[in-house]
Structure 1
Amino acid sequence: MKQGLGTQLRHLIELLDGAVQQAYTDAGLDYRPRYTPVMRALAQQRSATIGQLAELAGITQPAVTQTVALMKKEGLLLVEASGADGRQRVVRLSSQGEALLPRLQECWQATKRAADSLDADLDFPLSECLAQAIAVLEQRSFGDRIRAAHSKTKPTL
């Protein structure tokens, strides 16, 4: 039986994230792969709001909010109130987060080389396929596609 797209994507993520998590463990790091987009953004831009991090990292604001909360709990980030009413939060790396960066960057470089190796072994590079899929879905969401497909299957009276 052919697996559906969602099942294939979940399995792919399991294969990739599991290996990346193991690489961090092998490097002696207590670090989650989900932290990487936030860490990379803050490594380039020393401080940012949650909204700015979402844009820089290319992930949703709720995902950034959850990730920042976990990272703050683990001592990797500092979060301070900002703005006229204090509701905006500015995030920056803690000294512990800063100290972790050089070792993380080594892992990121190895992960990039592994990703390039994977792309080279495929008929069509996965990174290009994913970028194209994201761009197409940003033009017309998967939800819109489901609704359109559903309306085509409704019986007409």
Structure 2
Amino acid sequence: MSGRERPGLGELLRYVGELVEQGAEEDYRSLHPAYRPRYTPVLRALAAGAETVTEITARTRVTQGAVSQTIGLMVTDGLVERHGLPDGRKSALRLTPAGQALLGQLTPLWQSTFAAIEALEQEIGHPLLRVLEDTAEALERQGFAARLQAVRGATA
């Protein structure tokens, strides 16, 4: 035995996520010192027309709680502002001029990010994004806890 245990799925997913976020954060910091990679899905959803936390959550694979926390940080950083909707029921969100300027800087960066992902997929010989999307959809259909219980029931 090598002394090193085989990592589990969660451990590998966290590690790969950390490696990707660290690399992206290095790139983002050159554009905006307060930028955090977690802003990306929210910015992309706002750029695509989302106006509320509910709409952002529907357009992303981020929980409503995480979206709300991220919005709070973005408001503090001066990238997003809240405003009332005409019906008065919800508050809406919009990019500030600083947020719009940052979006203009990030759009080409996101294009190169997807090109880097394609190059990574070529290197590893697997469609990584597709595999992760398929995995997320399978776990949405049947959660991991139910899968664990099914395996335990099959071996009991």
Same fold (TM over 0.5): yes
Where does the alignment leave 5 or more consecutive residues of structure 2 unmatched? Answer: none
1:72 — aligned with what? 75
> What residue is the counterpart of 2:23 in the other structure?
19
Matched residues, number: 151
- Partner residue, 2:105: 103
What SS is found at the alignment partner of 2:81?
strand
Give 2:14's aligned residue: 10
Answer whether contact 2:31 2:105 (CA < 8 A) is retained. Answer: no
Q: CA 1:4 to 1:40, structure 2 compared with 1: closer, same or farther past 3 Å?
A: same
Alignment of 1:60 with 2:75, yes or no, is no
Whole-Å Cα distance in 1 between the matches of residues 138 and 84 of structure 2? 37
Name 1:38's counterpart in structure 2: 42
User: Which residue of 51, 54, 57 maps to 1:51?
Assistant: 54
* Bigger mean CA offset, 16-25 vs 138-147: 138-147
Task: Say which SS state the counterpart of residue 51 (structure 2) adopts.
Answer: strand
Identity of aligned residues (%): 34
Structure 2: distance between partners of 1:151 and 1:66: 39
1:141-156 to 2 correspondence within 5 Å?
Answer: 141-151=143-153
Q: In structure 1, give the amino acid aligned to 2:19.
A: L
Alignment gaps of 5+ in structure 1: none
The CA RMSD over aligned residues, in Å, is 1.9
Tell me, what secondary structure is at the counterpart of 2:93? strand
Structure 1 residue identity aligned to 2:135: A
How much does 1:36 deviate?
0.4
Structure 1 residue ranges, 4+ long, deviating more than 6 angstroms after superposition: none
* SS of equivalent residue, structure 2 residue 38: helix
AA aligned to 2:71 is: V
- 8 Å Cα contact 2:46-2:94 kept in structure 1: yes
2:137: which partner in 1?
135
Which one is further off, 119-128 or 11-20?
119-128
